[in-house]
Structure 1
Amino acid sequence: MRPALTLIAARGVRGFGDGFTALLLPVYLSILGFSAFRVGVLTTATLLGSAALTLAVGLAGHRVPARRLLFGACGLMGLTGVAFSQLHAFWPLAVVGFIGTLNPSGGDVSPFLPLEQSLLAHAGPPSRRTELFARYSVTGTLMGALGALSVGLLEPLKALTGLPQLTLVEGAFAAYGVLGLVSAALYRNLPARPAEAETARTPLGPSRRNVYGLAALFSLDSFGSGFMVQSLFALWLFHRFGLSLAVAGGFFFWTGALSAVSQLAAPWLARRIGLINTMVFTHIPASLCVIAAAFAPNVEIAFGLLVVRALLSNMDVPARTSYVMAIVTPAERAAAAGVTNVPRSLASAFSPALSGLIFSLTPFAWPLVIGGSLKIAYDLLLLWRFQKVRPPEEADP
């Protein structure tokens, strides 16, 4: 179980960095004088770049040991943090965002994900697979929440040191780069050639049809999610309700913490109603809450709806990952993880620019309505297409 603990710990380290950079990115770009539309464009660039790297890992990564690819991704994460701490012009930042590993969504949309998922699927028996993925997802979400909470320290640091906010934000991005080196140190504990995971990695074969079908549906879900990535969500809260950075950080901490805790219920629920039902019947109410939040007349009602959403919206994450790993052959897991994770950044990469444009044209939160509606459509299509494609542990005796 040591490889599983290593992978979960590394996910936590990166989750902390994702948590504070997702919230600081719109603040940083606003300090530099960029409009909501440009914030959306840069968000699109970062997600497109993550998609390209994730796709490369998924389709060709079986030729290179996963441990070596993880070290390379850590080096890229370090360089991304340094570059963002030094650059102020829009186009250089967009280029670095595209090439680098910065994650504006608050979740994990990076080349790390398919590599870690394929290794984690082999780190325990099938009966514990969903539980391991739940712990992996919970750790990332909870550490992301702590990362969001940590941005509240900027104001006290500003008062204590007298440094301008821009300098402190630049320091935070440099710290993100340091976390890449910490992740690399953790990955050194992985075996150089994990026997089962590394010797049996092949491109997609007999499971191709199901994997491509899931990838198409995940594209729809991710496109909807892109309308409300955390950076743009924070921008809406800043403008709509005039929240301070500390209050926004506290809010994202509590919603992230509730989301993390709720994911622990996913294995229990999946054992009783199945993985697909767990994904669908927790996701639809969460999407209805985010649509309702767009119409909230005050911040208290909006926060209440978003808290309910946080309790439900990520319960599908461990179930989804476990389902993908279960319905493919062990040899196809690395490729399946890459191909199904690409939509989380590729499809969602196009909607942030649209969301930023809509926010710049109207004060009403149309992106929340659009995104929530698309996610409900995804859930209904997933239930229709895959309800009868059961993982081995759910097959009739």
Structure 2
Amino acid sequence: MSISTKPPPVATGTGISRLYLARGLRGFGDGFAIIILPAYMTAHGFDAVAVGIVATASLFGTALLTLVTGLIAPRHDMRALMLVGAGLMVLTGIAFPNVEHLALISLVGFVGTINPSAGDLGMLVPLEHAMLARSASDRERTRVFARYSLIGSLSAAAGSLASSLPDFLGSAGIDNVSALRWMFYAYAALGLASAVLYSGLPRAHAEEKRHAPLAASRSMVYRLAALFCIDSFAGGFIAQSLLVLWLFERFDLSLSAAGVFFFWSSTLSAFSYPVAAWLAKRIGLVNTMVFTHIPSSVFLILAAFAPNLYVALGLLLLRAALSQMDVPTRTSYVMAVVTPAERPAAASVTTVPRSLASAVSPVIAGALLATSFSGLPLILCGGLKIVYDLALLFTFRHIKPPEEQL
């Protein structure tokens, strides 16, 4: 089975560059925002339960806004919706440092753009995906998404390092709360800069306005979303905070060493994206997703039995070099096998359930970490991901994107 979906391009190479730069700005802001938010709340006397409430509100708000955006995008100008998203980013950065009651902070988290997870979620994601897919040729689409993911990961890593800026400002005589407030204002400034970039894009509707958000490809998109939920549910067992906790408790890893490890882990993941694009041209998108993911899951399972810290970190770094290669290929595949009118909806419908599924498993993982064998979350994650990979291969191996028909 094959589907050809290529419409006339809606943006030039300059338009793609604007989307790349906007992705970098957003990634940099998200990189420090998800770290300074709990620090800001703690500085105001809130406990871990309150931080969890705000994180949950942000996660569900992000999912809802992403879903709504994907459903309404076919009937509206995508550039206008991007400007709305950038405006929300500005308002989020202004609102957070000016509210102190938990209910108001939770409300800002729900309607705002700060994403408490490490993945790229939010209303701008399906819009950028759809615009990029229409702006690139079939042969270049996967490479375009690989660069998009690379820029996002590297900018988020840089943003994480920038979260230490309040400590430096403190040494200059600025109190900690004020320094954190200025970081939120910097987040708002990044939203404003993103709006400027989006304003230079051409106007673009997903396709004919009378079309339903999901029509011909509805069944296929729902099947993909269901499989992606399994993958995200599995990933929640080793959310970054839980993996850090496991390394702390199992090997007594120091905080500074953990920071260095996760920086390099993120860097390896980022540079795996262009490799994924190169590989996809040779063995196909689905094969690239599956045959890089399975070895990464095996490395994760082996790490649960590692006899010492160095072996564990080595296995986890090997996993990091492979585990994210399905990110650009997965996005490219979804954009390729649906019609142009369905792309925004397909992006949101396959993204939102992942965020919701990944919010369930950390609670279970926390309980498993307290058992006599703390490596159980790693084993469950690896095992479920292998099941997902095999199911994906079995279900979609015959559905080819346009470039694999040539």
Tell me which interval the TM-score lies in, with the shorter structure as reference length.
Answer: 0.7 to 0.9
- Look up the equivalent residue of 1:98 and give its one-letter code: F
Q: Out of 373-382 and 352-361, give the one that drifted further.
A: 352-361
Q: Out of 165-174 and 302-311, give the one that drifted further.
A: 165-174
Aligned counterpart for 2:283 among listed residues 227, 249, 273: 273
Superposition deviation, residue 176 in structure 1? 2.1
| Deviation readout 1:273-327 (Å, 9 max, x if unpaired) | 1111111111122233334445556544443233222211111111111111111
Q: Does 1:189 align with 2:200?
A: yes
1:205 corresponds to which residue? 215
Contact 1:16 1:145 in 2 (8 A): yes
| Deviation readout 1:210-250 (Å, 9 max, x if unpaired) | 11110111111122223333455456556764633x55444
**C-alpha distance in structure 1 between counterparts of 2:88 and 2:42, whole Å:** 25
**C-alpha distance in structure 1 between counterparts of 2:96 and 2:219, whole Å:** 40
2:351 corresponds to which residue? 341
Superposition deviation, residue 51 in structure 1? 1.0
| Deviation readout 1:14-33 (Å, 9 max, x if unpaired) | 11112223344454555545
| Deviation readout 1:65-98 (Å, 9 max, x if unpaired) | 1111111111212222333334455444333222
Q: Does 1:93 align with 2:96?
A: no
- Look up the equivalent residue of 2:146 and give its one-letter code: A
Query: Where do residues 352-367 of structure 1 align in structure 2 (5 Å cutoff)?
Result: 352-355=362-365, 364=374, 366-367=376-377
Structure 2 unaligned regions, length at least 5: 1-12
Aligned counterpart for 2:142 among listed residues 130, 148, 172: 130
Q: Does 1:218 align with 2:224?
A: no
For the pair shown, the structure with the greater C-alpha radius of gyration is: 2
Query: Where do residues 1-397 of structure 1 align in structure 2 (5 Å cutoff)?
Result: 1-28=13-40, 32-35=45-48, 39-158=51-170, 160-191=171-202, 193-194=203-204, 197=206, 202-234=212-244, 241=252, 243-244=254-255, 247-296=257-306, 299-355=309-365, 364=374, 366-395=376-405
**C-alpha distance in structure 2 between counterparts of 1:264 and 1:249, whole Å:** 25
Amino-acid identity (%): 51
CA RMSD of aligned residues (A): 2.9
**C-alpha distance in structure 1 between counterparts of 2:105 and 2:400, whole Å:** 44
Give SS of 1:209's match: helix
- Look up the equivalent residue of 1:108 and give its one-letter code: D
**C-alpha distance in structure 2 between counterparts of 1:365 and 1:82, whole Å:** 41
The 1:371–1:175 alpha-carbon spacing in structure 2 relative to 1, beyond 3 Å, is farther
Contact 1:22 1:230 in 2 (8 A): no
Contact 1:48 1:349 in 2 (8 A): no
Equivalenced residues, count: 391
Structure 1 unaligned regions, length at least 5: none
Scaled by the length of structure 2, the TM-score of the pair is 0.85
- Look up the equivalent residue of 1:182 and give its one-letter code: A
Superposition deviation, residue 139 in structure 1? 0.7
Q: Out of 233-242 and 263-272, give the one that drifted further.
A: 233-242
Contact 1:225 1:348 in 2 (8 A): yes
2:10 corresponds to which residue? none
The 1:145–1:202 alpha-carbon spacing in structure 2 relative to 1, beyond 3 Å, is same
Give SS of 1:110's match: coil
Contact 2:246 2:374 in 1 (8 A): no
The 1:72–1:317 alpha-carbon spacing in structure 2 relative to 1, beyond 3 Å, is same
